[in-house]
Each structure stands twice: as structure tokens, then as C-alpha cells.
Amino acid sequence: MKERLIETEEKRNEFQGLYESVHSLSTADALGLFSEEIKAQEALEHSEHSEVSYGSQLRNYRGQLESLISDSPAIDIHLPQPK
């Protein structure tokens, strides 16, 4: 019997959905998201309020990936912490 990295079809579909969502971004869209992330990080660093938080699509993608990886014990990978 062949062992699978992703045990359930539901999780495979979630990985596939995340892949399709990220893969469907155009280069211009990806650069725009990256630019927004940099600007938000700079605003956070220059803010006097340490409680300022923001959400971005890049952080959402990362969060989804981290969640899927943590729910898949056969996948042994650790993502570096964002700066």
C-alpha cells in the first residue's frame, strides 16, 4: 500500500485550492501584494503603537499553508519566520 503525504482527500483539496489560488496570481498582482506587505511592515515599524496589526493576502496564504502543514504530520517542513 502506498503511503500518502496528505492523508485525506479533504486536505489534498485544501492544498490544491491554495496552490490554485496562488498560482492564478499574475506577476503584476504578486508584485502588488509584495509591495503592500512591505509598506504595511514599514508602517508597523514606524508606528508608536505596538498593537497595530494588519492583514495581507500574503500573510493569509502563509497562514493557510502553515495550517495545512501542521495538519499533515507526514510533511516535515518548517517555514522560516517572516521578518
Q: What is the pLDDT of residues 15-71, one digit of tens each?
A: 999 999 999 999 999 999 999 888 888 888 887 655 545 568 888 999 999 999 998
Measured distance CA(22)–CA(3) in Å, rounded: 27
Query: Cell digits for 42?
Result: 514599514
What ranges in the chain are assigned the alpha helix state H?
9-23, 27-46, 57-70
Measured distance CA(60)–CA(83) in Å, rounded: 16
Share the mean pLDDT of the chain. Answer: 84
> Would the pLDDT of 80 be above 60?
yes
3-state SS assignment for residue 1: coil
Does pTM top 0.75 for this prediction? no
